[in-house]
Amino acid sequence: MALIGDSTDKAKQLLQAGKLVSIPTETVYGLAGNALNQKAVLSIFKAKNRPAFDPLIVHTHHINEIAHFAQLPSKWINELADAFWPGPLTLLLLKKKIIPDLVTSGLDTVAVRIPNHPLTLSLLKQLDFPLAAPSANPFGYVSPTNAQHVQDQLNDQVDYILDGGACGVGIESTIISLIEASPKILRLGGLSLENIEAVIGKVAVASHSSSSPAAPGMLKSHYAPKKSIVKIDEVNMKDFEDFSEIGAVVFQHTRKEIPKQNQIVLSPTGDVDAAAKEFFAAFRNLDERPEIKSIWVENAPNHGLGRAINDRIKRATAK
């Protein structure tokens, strides 16, 4: 069983030795290894049972560090970096040769970000290499938002879990590609479309890919619990007489048909940011309750972080 602690010194020593450490970020917990060490990167893929065609995000502590392993286009990056780093923003850039192809799944691009968490920023400043760090969960399952989630899911697949408390955002970073003529959102996430467009103007949003993704987190089916999951608005309530084995993740109000104790309300006040923070934990809660056989889920309002929630619901319910 992986040790949980708050020692950046211990995390540093393990990472320097090519081991894996789970790191806290404001979005979700990551499974980190030396991004320049192919053996460590391969260990990440093995620990998560992650397909090699799904690239990883590289983390560092300052934009000057990114210049060592990625090309920095002048047109958009400074505006985005000044506004949102450190924070839940990942940028897709052209990579330099120092980044192993294994990290980028053979692509000539690399996804980079500067996470906004004091423990992880402190750790990154102590390292002379960036960290490759996808979410610290088995591939395709719901992402972890506290240290215990990581231990429950990965157990001895990770050498140390750096405990930074519960994640403040609770949903993965937004990914923007800067390799085309205009910025394009490849993955909706913890930074809202509205906030991005307030800084750089209108931005296109890509539909997700079912194979050979251009960036992390673009697979059609992803973020799913182990139990069957369906959208509430696709269910005909008249087809059911017994709702006792149904669990539901609802946005603001409970559904009268389903037992109240089987429902998790993401935000009684209707706050999409608060709902995003609780989203993955709600899935996990119902997934671990033996009396629940199926999970029904309700979309959030399609604005702000509600867009990212609905993106995760779409993928979790993908057949």
Q: Read off the pLDDT of each residue in 33-38 and give the average, rounded to a whole number.
A: 98
CB-based contacts of 223: which residues, under 8 Å, 6+ apart? 140, 141, 142, 143, 280, 312, 315, 316
pLDDT tens for 61-96 read 999 999 999 999 878 999 999 999 999 999 999 999
Q: Which residue has the tokens 């519960």?
A: 166
Structure tokens at 286: 């119902």
Please provide the distance, in angstroms rounded to a whole number, between the alpha carbons at the two ends of the chain. 33
What is the pTM assigned to this prediction?
Answer: 0.92
Pairing, β 30-34 against β 21-23: antiparallel
pLDDT tens for 296-317 read 999 999 999 999 999 999 988 8
Q: Which residue has the tokens 């059609």?
A: 220
pLDDT at 221: 57
pLDDT tens for 146-197 read 999 999 999 899 999 999 999 999 999 999 999 988 999 999 999 999 999 9
**Quick one: which of 202, 212, 119 has its CA closest to 167?**
119
The residue with greater pLDDT, 211 or 134, is 134
Burial class (CB in 10 A: 0-12, 13-18, 19+), 204: exposed
Q: Read off the pLDDT of each residue in 187-215 and give the average, rounded to a whole number.
A: 83
pLDDT at 127 over 60: yes
| Domains in the chain: ranges and CATH | 3-205 (3.90.870.10), 228-316 (3.40.50.11030)
